Amino acid sequence: MRSPIFSTLREYFRTANQWFFKTPERALDEAYEAALMIKAIEDAHFGGGRISPDFGNYSQSERAVFQEDLKTNLSIVKLRLAEFRFSRLIMRISNRPITEVEVEDEESEGVIVNVIDKQAVILRKLRIIDEVIARYENVPSSSSLIVVPESSQLELNGQTPRSPRTQSNLVRAQSGGEDVASIVDKTGVLPRSILKTVDRIKRELDPNAEEEVVENFRNSKARTVISLRLVLLLIIVPLLTQQLTKNFIVGPIVDRFRSNEEAEVFLNPEMEEEALTKLHHFEEQLRFRALVGQAPALNDEEIETQVREKAIELQEEFRYQSNDAVKNVFADIFSIAAFAGIIITSQREIAVLKSFIDELVYGLSDSAKAFIIILFTDTFVGFHSPHGWEVLLEGIAKHLGLPANRSFIFLFIATFPVILDTIFKYWIFRYLNRISPSAVATYRNMNE
């Protein structure tokens, strides 16, 4: 007679085994359903063609909904397709036949039955999925299309006629792809000033110069809006995530588990030492005020009573600090996850931001470049920077409820600013020296 525990474990193992070996089929089905959702939107609203902001007379909100659905379903298709390929590879390595499944029988422990060859069905689904993905391979992401300024969006909708060159330049500015040329790469044999002069003369002689100036302004405006929007998202979203999770998710949980008297009041010895210092200072203050006549004389019992009340007050204060530090740890994890999520889902916007920063930094005057370099180097790797790093590290340790390890802080100060200084010098030698030698000369003169 079999043990009930053994039968239960065997049943769990069999269920997990069946779930694992059905992973390819399940992943392919989910990718196929997402592809069909995209195709249904195309057939219903875009005449069977690609989902594009140039089609139809839809409002901006409707276009945003279409692009968001497209982005979501495309992500599902790509993720599940990768899961399908990886799971098939794993089962091929394990020598498990993919065309066999395990079914249960009441009288037997399990029977392996061959299933009709599913290759034709799999190939048909993969063909439909590939057709859907191919239509959006070299198209700017939906997020890039949604964040276009309202004026540019109206132009895309056809309310303002635009030349093909204007539309292509705007798409390049939004996508941040290979067409958005970085100023760092614009180097050559001749000095940049001569090349700029020649280019300016060519543009002035061009009969379409006025139109090109307007195009460049629109592209610059779109790039600026996209960059500022991304910067604000990178700052505001993690801060809001940290505060909301701390006050409404992590906070109540921590308060519930650390509300009893058995919970540790001090998370590290430094907090306990600080509490004892405050308590000792309070007792000495009572005695001093009584001696100088600022307060009535107190006997030992009265002093002990007030010291005991102060100790209870300090206990509640440091218990709150300990709880707050624990909340900060988990809330910061959520905040970092939100920041990483924005970075992962905004690759094209990051490319646009990089182009915007390149144009902004390398467009400064030589003296401004030298001033900014000296300001950053003296702040982070200069003579007085160790004091700032020490205060910063101690603040982070207090924020997380960790003891300020002096050995770690001194080791960090002895290594990290040196690495930053090396990176600054390499950047100056490798890039700035090629792009703007006069700025390097100005920096050296100001530094001396």
* Neighbouring C-beta atoms of residue 107, cutoff 10 Å: 5
Q: What is the dihedral of CA 299, 303, 308, 311, to 10 degrees?
A: -170
- Rg of the chain, C-alpha, whole Å: 33
Alpha carbons 430 and 419: distance in angstroms, whole number: 16
Q: Please tell me whether residue 100 adopts helix, strand or coil conformation.
A: strand
Least confident of 6-20, 103-117, 314-328: 103-117
For the chain, the domains span 1-139, 234-350, 364-447
Q: What is the dihedral of CA 338, 339, 341, 346, to 10 degrees?
A: 140
Contact (CB, 8 A) for 370 and 439:
yes
Residue listed under structure tokens 């204060």: 317
Alpha carbons 421 and 425: distance in angstroms, whole number: 6
Contact (CB, 8 A) for 265 and 321:
no
Task: Specify the pLDDT at position 340.
Answer: 95
In the chain, what is the greatest distance between 2 CA atoms, to the nearest angstrom? 100
Least confident of 117-131, 220-234, 408-422: 117-131
User: Comparing C-alpha atoms, which of 228, 31, 201, 209 is closest to residue 133?
Assistant: 31
298-313: b (≥16 Cβ within 10 Å) or e: eeeeeeeeeeeebeee
Percent of the chain with pLDDT strictly greater than 90: 17
How many residues are recorded in the chain?
448
- C-alpha pair distances (Å), 159 with each of 144, 152, 212: 20, 10, 19
Give the amino acid at 279. L
Task: Specify the pLDDT at position 160.
Answer: 43
Token pair listed for 181: 């040329």
pTM of the model: 0.53
How much is the average pLDDT of 86-95?
65
Range picked from 21-35, 114-128, 198-212 for highest mean pLDDT: 21-35
Task: Specify the pLDDT at position 440.
Answer: 86
Between 374 and 189, whose confidence is greater?
Answer: 374
Task: Specify the pLDDT at position 261.
Answer: 67
How much is the average pLDDT of 388-410?
89
Task: Specify the pLDDT at position 442.
Answer: 86
Task: Specify the pLDDT at position 343.
Answer: 93
Task: Specify the pLDDT at position 5.
Answer: 59
Task: Specify the pLDDT at position 18.
Answer: 65
Task: Specify the pLDDT at position 193.
Answer: 65
Task: Specify the pLDDT at position 195.
Answer: 67
User: Comparing C-alpha atoms, which of 311, 316, 317, 312 is closest to residue 276?
Assistant: 311
Task: Specify the pLDDT at position 192.
Answer: 59
110: left (phi over 0), alpha (psi -120 to 50) or beta: left
Task: Specify the pLDDT at position 159.
Answer: 41
Least confident of 34-43, 134-143, 207-216: 134-143
